[in-house]
Amino acid sequence: MSDNEFIKIKNVSKKFDDVVAVDNVDINIARGEFFSLLGPSGCGKTTLLRILAGFEYPSSGKVLIDNVDVTGITPNLRPTNMVFQNYAIFPHINVKKNIEFGLRKEKLSKDALDKRVKDALRMVQLEGYEDRYSNQLSGGQRQRIALARALVKQPKVLLLDEPLGALDKKLREEMQLELRKLQRSVGITFIFVTHDQEEAMTMSDRVAVMNKGKILQISPPRDLYNNPKNLFVGDFIGQINFLESEIKSIDSNNINVLINKLGEHTLTYSGNINKEESIVCAIRPETIQIGNNPDQIKSDITIKGKIANTSFYGNMTYIYVEIEGIAKTLMVSTSDALEGLTYDSECYININLKDIRLIKKN
């Protein structure tokens, strides 16, 4: 067994009546990895997590953790622990008893138990909260207690089901950093479910994007952003412009593409593609440059447009540009406050070929 196959999810499917929640998913997760499952609500990511925890059993396929087939094993016997979306802190017992809850089977002495609880609370920076009850804790504190309660069991894998979803924006960003730091220091494999792409990108070693029960792409965050493998991933992660295109000819990795209104250009594509494939060209808004006259900026493609709308975000401005013959406005982002680029004014946009990604439609 290599450490890269610490967790093996082999051809797992899950059907509820006639709905396929998880569709033939195949993932290997490395030991000590921070792995995220990202997708819109109802994409099957939570079901997949619950299959790993043992709350659901797959309709077909297998789950192996550390070389042990756990497919049919109940949650209490698995080397996994979970942080629930609503934290599931037991309301009838205090924080200390909550953290001790899973340690009963270990038959520790009272002193050893106290020490474990203390260490766990220190780890989540809530020392001295032993006697509190769930209703005396804030959302962020509950989340930390849930984390401590799961980690105190020293699981091989920690499963996190949108644990930051209920927190407000500031606290969420703080917890993202903290969670990542914690994961590095304990060295446990984290599997993190979220619908927030920003969250997945900032914390994870690798991200799996899911939609309609299927895994669409598994990549490190940077790769996911720069080289989306399909329309859904490109669209789901960050902002993107899609341009209708058509393959004219293929010469090994160099592909001659006719991009709507931008002319015929040669792009590179790694992977198999044939001439009949229907494709689009994708361009991130920050790679497009914008100016008032055609010669201002040197670039591979320059085209005239009219500004349809602008929206200001502080550190940057999104400019929506109408180009004759293109149905959708083109989105451009810039950090410069350019003069003269206001509503209804004429502008020129500049695109370099290296920033254009070719994506298969299906």
* Contacting residues toward another protein, per CB under 8 A: 15, 53-55, 59-60, 74-77, 80-82, 84-86, 88, 90-93, 101-102, 104-105, 134-135, 149-150, 153
Residue 276 CB, nearest distance to another protein (Å)?
37
Residue 58 CB, nearest distance to another protein (Å)?
9
Query: Looking at beta carbons only, is 159 or 257 nearer to another protein?
Result: 159
Residue 104 CB, nearest distance to another protein (Å)?
8
CA-based nearest residue to 283, from 242, 326, 233: 242
DSSP H stretches of helix in the chain? 45-53, 95-100, 110-123, 139-151, 169-186, 197-203, 221-226, 231-236
Query: Looking at beta carbons only, is 94 or 299 nearer to another protein?
Result: 94
Residue 123 CB, nearest distance to another protein (Å)?
17
Query: Looking at beta carbons only, is 101 or 318 nearer to another protein?
Result: 101
Cα 158 from Cα 154, distance rounded (Å): 9
Beta-sheet pairing, 60-65 with 7-16: antiparallel
Residue 141 CB, nearest distance to another protein (Å)?
16
Amino acid at position 33, single letter? E
Q: Which residues on adjacent β-strands are paired with residue 312?
A: 317
Q: Look up residue 277 and give its DSSP letter.
A: -
Query: Looking at beta carbons only, is 137 or 323 nearer to another protein?
Result: 137
Cα 9 from Cα 61, distance rounded (Å): 8
Query: Looking at beta carbons only, is 42 or 79 nearer to another protein?
Result: 79
Cα 333 from Cα 327, distance rounded (Å): 19
